[in-house]
A and B are shown apart, each in its own frame.
Chain A
Amino acid sequence: MTDALLEVNGLRTVFDTRAGTVCAVDGVDATVRRGECLGVVGESGSGKSVTFASVMGLVRPPGRIEAGRILFEGRDLRALSPRQMRAIRGRDIAMTMQDALTALNPALTVGEQMAEMMEAHDESLPASRGARRRAIAERSAEMLGLVGIPSAGERLRQYPHEFSGGMRQRIMIAIALASRPKLLIADEPTTALDVTIQAQVLELITDIRAELGMSVVLITHDLGVVAEHCDRVMVMYAGQVVETGPTADVIGAPRHPYTKGLLASIPRLALRGQRIRPIEGQVPELIDLPPQCRFYSRCPERGPECLRPVEMHDAGEGREARCVRVVPEMVS
């Protein structure tokens, strides 16, 4: 309890569309502890990105947060004014986006964007102008160096389009880190990147986490990435958390049929010649869902007891799963 940096309780985020109200995030509980890396896994439409966009206060109409509490260091972020929220965003919590090219301002140099970030959030900067500018330039170069960009001094004067995709992703991380946040939310930081570059970026995040002692939320669809970089994992499906626990345990012995299916779906050299067993069917549309287990229609283990709303059940050793089969006495 005491070591929780971020605590999300009963978060419900909906989008009003003409077809009806889409419940993108439905009753999500999540905890990020100090210094840990939490992996958030799910397919498109699982609500993994929307959950953390909600935490950042970045949900815009037609979307809205309908219910829930978001506690950051004990303060309820939903109760804050937009101005207070802006101050937290960037300074205490930073977020990097999947698409670095569109997330960076094409009209400003990288150095200008980093300076902007620090000016806005860093009170420790010296008051006098000259000293302030020097401090910012120094810190910016240091940050670019930290993310592995050589000759940082010159690179600061370049524009985003002059960098390659991997470089831009690193720059976005550098900007996010410029204010030394306590929590970094990285939304699919490597999806758009090639494997060799992906490995560089992920290791960078892991190294910096150790160095700055910050917490990281790594949103991804790649269980391999989670297995190698995250302490704990949270699997999401159709707007709900279906399984949480220490990464090695969850991946080694998944309790929820969806997690099992996901793991069985990954093709591997070791599985050559064997049939992979894909999860049948597709993710349900998030409108007017029946009050039953959301994985019901695709679940190979389904039974009549799954036709009512399913809670998260304690599966021991810090694990939880949203499946009645975790609790033997519930299965008739």
Chain B
Amino acid sequence: MTGSAPLLEVDKLVKEYRGGRRLADRLTGRPETVVRAVTGVSLSIARGEIVGLIGESGCGKSTLGRSILRLHEPTSGRVTFDGTDVTALAAPAMKAMRRRMQIIFQDPYASLNPRRTVGEIVGLPLRLHGLARSPAEVRDLVAAMIEKVGLKSAHLDRYPHQFSGGQRQRIGIARALVSHPEFIVCDEPVSALDVSIQAQIIQLLTDLKSEMGLTYLFISHDISVIGYLSDRVAVMYLGELVEFGPVEDVLARPRHPYTQSLMSAVPEVDRPGHRHRVRLEGDLPSPLAPPPGCRFHTRCPFATDICRREAPRTETVGPGHTAACHRLSENLSLLDEEQA
């Protein structure tokens, strides 16, 4: 967005999961199963920006988020945070780095240890990184953070099961923010919540962002949420980035047929029924055996021979707007004029 160096740079990140070969597999010569969850994704995030990452389940968006934080060790590729190569850091330096990069999880029930009080959960980052001099100071800082996310300091001695889903998500946010990080991976933080609670949490996250000067990678399958929040949006399909650019461009004039079909599939309250809907045939192919050529060709209405043979290169289609499709120059669109 700005001319300054990006806060986070992801360069050709690959994450593979190996199924492991058993003795029997080795004897029969069966190859090891390899799931390529993320296949060479590059993107950059400027300080103070919200980059939305969108895609359907199994596209690798959560894996990408976790690999950036090295919660899952990337197979290859580089993650640079504020000039430091995170992927090369040894354990002690990585631990120090974790204070600056945090994550908010999807499931407000699974992400909090049921046997810890709220005070212990939120206070843990402070204690681990020695950010407070005394237990009393930990408590003060935790209380301040808990109030910042809209709960009461009187809640500190309660256990997670005594809270509702929305309140628990607030606790998870407090845990992520208490060490004053600069960068947060928000991994579907509102997907498990009811509509009215979802809006509360979105509002809280945007308020905290401007208040604390945060940068978000916001992962979601919900285009409406991404469209509302993000400055730029990245679209993933089967481990690959198919389109990336400013949200106004990508969502208003999507260039990749997959982004177009995603846009047309979202039911919206504003303009029901006035739309020609793109019907994508079939389901997401298995990442165990991704299709050759362009990975989207099995479901793409525009697929031709070259799409079945060759993987498309990423091309620039506008200012800061890139897409990976063989037929970009033809300006095909699945969407009606009215929608564009």
- A residues lining the B interface (CB < 8 Å): 43-44, 164, 166-167, 194-200, 202-203, 221-225, 227-229, 247-248, 251, 261-272, 275-280, 282-283
Q: Does B223 contact A (CB under 8 A)?
A: yes
Report the minimum CB–CB distance from B332 to chain A (whole Å): 18
Q: Does B272 contact A (CB under 8 A)?
A: yes
Q: Does B199 contact A (CB under 8 A)?
A: yes
Selected from B195, B198, B261, B267, the residue in CB contact (under 8 A) with A227 is: B267
Known: A197-B283, A224-B266, A228-B267. Is A267-B194 also a contact (CB below 8 A)? no
Given contact pairs A202-B267, A225-B267, A265-B198, enumerate 5 new A-B contacts (beta carbons under 8 Å): A166-B283, A224-B268, A224-B269, A228-B267, A275-B203
Selected from A196, A263, A275, A277, the residue in CB contact (under 8 A) with B269 is: A263
Contact B267 A222 (CB under 8 A): yes
Contact B200 A271 (CB under 8 A): no
Q: Does B166 contact A (CB under 8 A)?
A: yes
Q: Does B234 contact A (CB under 8 A)?
A: no
**B283 partner residues in chain A, CB cutoff 8 A:** 164, 166-167, 197
- Total residues of chain B contacting the partner, CB 8 A: 40
Contact A227 B262 (CB under 8 A): no
Q: Does B56 contact A (CB under 8 A)?
A: yes
- The main secondary structure of chain A at its interface with chain B is helix
**A202 partner residues in chain B, CB cutoff 8 A:** 267
**A278 partner residues in chain B, CB cutoff 8 A:** 196-197, 199-200, 202-203
State A251–B270 Cα separation when bound (angstroms): 9
Q: B86-94, B124-132, B141-149, B224-232: which one contacts chain A? A: B224-232
Contact B221 A194 (CB under 8 A): yes
State A269–B283 Cα separation when bound (angstroms): 27
A-B contact count (CB 8 A): 124
Contact B277 A227 (CB under 8 A): no
Contact A224 B199 (CB under 8 A): no
- The main secondary structure of chain B at its interface with chain A is helix
Known: A194-B284, A262-B196. Is A270-B279 also a contact (CB below 8 A)? no
State A278–B267 Cα separation when bound (angstroms): 20
Q: Does B164 contact A (CB under 8 A)?
A: yes
Contact A268 B224 (CB under 8 A): yes
Contact A267 B273 (CB under 8 A): no
Give A46's nearest chain B residue, CB to CB.
Answer: B194
Q: Does B280 contact A (CB under 8 A)?
A: yes
Report the minimum CB–CB distance from A101 to chain B (whole Å): 14
Interface 1/0 per residue, B180-197 and A, CB below 8 Å: 000000000000001111
Contact A195 B228 (CB under 8 A): no
Selected from B194, B227, B247, B251, the residue in CB contact (under 8 A) with A44 is: B194
Known: A200-B280, A267-B227. Is A282-B195 also a contact (CB below 8 A)? no
Contact A203 B203 (CB under 8 A): no
State A209–B148 Cα separation when bound (angstroms): 50
Report the minimum CB–CB distance from A283 to chain B (whole Å): 8
Give A269's nearest chain B residue, CB to CB.
Answer: B227
State A270–B223 Cα separation when bound (angstroms): 12
State A166–B281 Cα separation when bound (angstroms): 12
Known: A43-B195, A167-B283, A194-B221. Is A228-B228 also a contact (CB below 8 A)? no
Q: Does B57 contact A (CB under 8 A)?
A: yes
Contact A195 B196 (CB under 8 A): no
Closest 5 CB pairs of A and B: A269-B227, A224-B267, A278-B199, A267-B228, A265-B199
12 pairs of residues in contact across A and B, judged by CB atoms under 8 Å: A195-B265, A196-B265, A198-B265, A229-B267, A265-B196, A267-B202, A269-B223, A270-B270, A276-B228, A278-B197, A279-B199, A282-B167
State A58–B227 Cα separation when bound (angstroms): 40
Within 8 A of A (CB), among B98-131: none
